[in-house]
Structure 1
Amino acid sequence: MHRTYSMRQSRAPTASQLETPPPPSSSTKAGRLFGRSNFGHKFRSQAAGAFGPDLAKKLTQLVKMEKNVMRTMELVGRERMEVAQQLSIWGEACDDDVSDVTDKLGVLIYEIGELEDQFVDRYDQYRVTIKSIRNIEASVQPSRDRKQKITDQIAQLKYKDPNSPRIVVLEQELVRAEAESLVAEAQLSNITREKLKAAFTYQFDALREHCEKTAIIAGYGKHLLELVDDTPVTPGESRPAYDGYEASKAIIQDCEDALTNWVQSKATVKSSLSTRARTLSQRRKNKMGNGEGHDLSHQDQPLEGERDGWVPASQHGEYENEDDDDEEESQVRGRQEEGQTA
């Protein structure tokens, strides 16, 4: 029997992909310093935040941890595909019904692995957006440092030489530095809120699509199990001839159609707010001075303008490439090894 390892040989864009263009391939899938192993996971988390401005260190660590998460998900997806193939290979030597059903179950499990691979790409867009907040934090740090440095110089002069004419000059510089800092802090506050909402919209949209499609596959997998005759037989008794080949193919086709036609606007699982939660959210919106109720039931709508063009990680200012992060990790590791040999 021909064994099938994937649901479709060639894939046309699904309805979801037409509605929401897919992002580019995740930045964690290429250019790895340590290859495809998990060697750098623990080291990356420990080294995160060791360099760069103090203001950006905590978010730098979060970005690094999310990188570990994505690489783990990528590994899970790849191994799930291998498991699906092995299941089909094992079932080939079994009775006709078990052989056919395990073959088709392998198709469904392989499809879950491919969904996980797609999920990693969409999850990366969340991480890249969070990374952009980190870059803004890093750009704000110099203005904070300059203001603090001038403040310290003024305090030192007032202690050593209260009549120094330089105090007046420094106070004027401090006024300018505080004005620059106010602009930078306001920009950081505004961008943080904007990017935070955009980032987690990417993540939650990706989670919803992945989970609902996985649930679809699980449902059709249970339909396939109904084709297996588990009626006990006595020794020497033979089972009826298996005639479920067309049924199993039809189930796989139905599953493919369901996955292809799934769109987020018609998602099955809905988040319904209680009356209390809706009232409190509206009160919050009114306090903000907008005058419109803050109806969170529409929170799942995609951000307008955000989905039309996915932004690659290389276009987010400082700390541009993940390869740079890996080189930084390599340098830290090299210093640690030198210290140990010394």
Structure 2
Amino acid sequence: MDNCASPHSITGHPPPKTRSSVSLSKLLDYIQPELSRKQYRIIKNDKGLIEAYKSAGIDRVEIGRQICEWGKNSGDEAIVDISSKVGLLLQEMGKLSEPYATALEDARGHLKIIRNIEKIVQPIRNRKMRVLDKIQKIRTKTPSQNIKLAALEQELVRVEAESLVAEAQLTNLTRQNFREAFQIELAAAIERAEKEVILAKHGFRLLELLDANIVAPGEPYVPYEHGVQAHQVLSDAEANLKEYQPDDRYRAPGGSGILVEETADEVDQQVNINGWGVAQS
């Protein structure tokens, strides 16, 4: 593990939203097709969540660095050594937020695929309902218009065939991508949590080396003699992280689970409503 080092950059809290940005957000929400509106909100909120995890990780790294710096100026040999190593463990915990946020981005990409297929299916549903409404009106008001009725019934057959394929794809792609999205997210959550547990347990080992017994004024403190042990704790933590292997039961699909965001955004061009699945590029 590196010595106490500053992170590359430190972000503050995002500026408050202006009235116009809030109005634009509501407008974008309103114009979404009904079928994809809820998924749109989930994806939008996920973006804020991802940024929050990134920001929290950066803050954790900075706090760990500050603890190192504080300990150096304490004048207490025990605090100097233990605080520097605890600070390093906290920095390593903070660094775990970046790969976790990346996994959330990958999961969010799968949710975008669901949203985009929902956006495609909604107009097909609407068209089918319009044709059915027209047929119903003709049958109730002008039953003699057999030619127009026959044309609408033929159109209904075509729309129903298109709808059948689209609805099947909606179900197939939704199940597939919902499963993969949360396998990625939950696998990343497990890995992050297990690595944090590793670091936290070694942190407790370090703290046990710090004599916190109360000493009366004027009495000498017990000399700190655990430098070698503290260094070994840090080496053990580093080795345990390198040796870490996730449980095969909780692995994300496809290994890395990487999904390019642009691909998810363009899935509406890839979906083939005249066949099954997604058209291969």
TM-score category (smaller protein): 0.7 to 0.9
- The 8 Å contact of residues 49 and 61 in structure 1, kept in 2 or not, is answered as yes
Q: Partner amino acid for 1:213?
A: K
Aligned length: 257
CA 1:302/1:240 → structure 2, altered by over 3 Å: closer, same or farther?
same
When normalised by structure 1's length, the TM-score is 0.69
1:261 aligns with 2:243: yes
Report what 1:128 is aligned to. 109
Secondary structure at the residue paired with 1:243?
Answer: coil
d(CA) in 2 for partners of 1:259, 1:162: 76
Whole-angstrom CA distance in 2 between matches of 1:134 and 1:113: 32
The answer to whether 1:194 aligns with 2:185 is no
2:96 counterpart SS class: helix
Per the TM alignment, residue 249 of structure 1 is displaced from its structure 2 partner at its CA by 1.6
Q: Which amino acid aligns with 1:191?
A: L
Cα distance, 1:72–1:46 mapped onto 2, change above 3 Å? farther
Name the structure 1 match of 2:3. Answer: 4
The CA deviation at 1:302 is 4.2
Contact 1:48 1:61 in 2 (8 A): no
Matched, 1:144 2:121: no
Distance 1:73 1:47, change over 3 A: farther
Q: Is residue 59 from structure 1 mapped to residue 30 from structure 2 by the alignment?
A: no
Which residue of 2 is the match for residue 37 of structure 1?
A: 14
Kept after mapping to 2: 8 A contact 1:45/1:64? no
Determine the C-alpha separation between the residues in 2 that align with 1:317 and 1:104. 44
Q: CA deviation at 1:65?
A: 1.4
C-alpha distance in structure 2 between counterparts of 1:264 and 1:229, whole Å: 36
State the 1:131 CA deviation: 1.4
Letter of the 1:254 counterpart: D
Query: Are positions 1:87 and 2:67 aligned together?
Result: yes
1:235 corresponds to: 217
Q: Residue type of the partner of 2:260? A: P
Q: Return the letter of the residue paired with 1:210.
A: R
- Cα deviation for residue 260 of structure 1 reads 1.1
Spell out, residue by residue over 1:237-282, the C-alpha distance to the aligned partner (whole angstroms, 9 max, x if none): 222332222222211111011011101137xxxxxxxxxxxxxxxx
Give the Cα separation in 2 of the matches to 1:206 and 1:48: 31
More helix by share: 2
| 1:314 maps to which of 247, 254, 262 | 262
CA offsets, 1:75-117, max 9 Å, x none?
A: 1111111111111121112201011111111101111110012
Residue 230 (structure 2) aligns with: 248
- Tell me how far apart the structure 2 counterparts of residues 139 and 168 of structure 1 sit (CA, whole Å): 27
Residues 1:210 and 2:192 aligned together = yes
In structure 2, the residue matched to 1:172 is 154
Relative to structure 1, the CA distance from residue 207 to residue 237 in structure 2 (aligned partners, 3 Å threshold; closer, same or farther) is same
For the aligned residues, what is the CA RMSD?
2.6
Q: Quick one: structure 1 residues 46 and 5, their matched pair in 2 at CA, closer, same or farther if it must change by over 3 Å?
A: farther
What is the deviation of 1:37? 1.4
- Looking at structure 2, the residues matched to 225 and 71 of structure 1 have their Cα atoms a distance apart, in angstroms, of 32
Residue identity opposite 1:172 in structure 2: Q
- The AA in structure 2 aligned to 1:236 is G
Gaps of 5+ in 1: 7-34, 267-297, 321-342
Cα shift at 1:180 = 0.7
Instruction: Tell me the TM-score normalised to structure 2 length.
Output: 0.83
Residue 59 of structure 1 deviates from its aligned partner by: 0.7
Deviations 1:159-207 (A, max 9, x none): 4422122111011101110111011101111111111111111011101
Helix, strand or coil: the match of 2:132? helix
The amino acid across from 2:112 in the alignment is: K
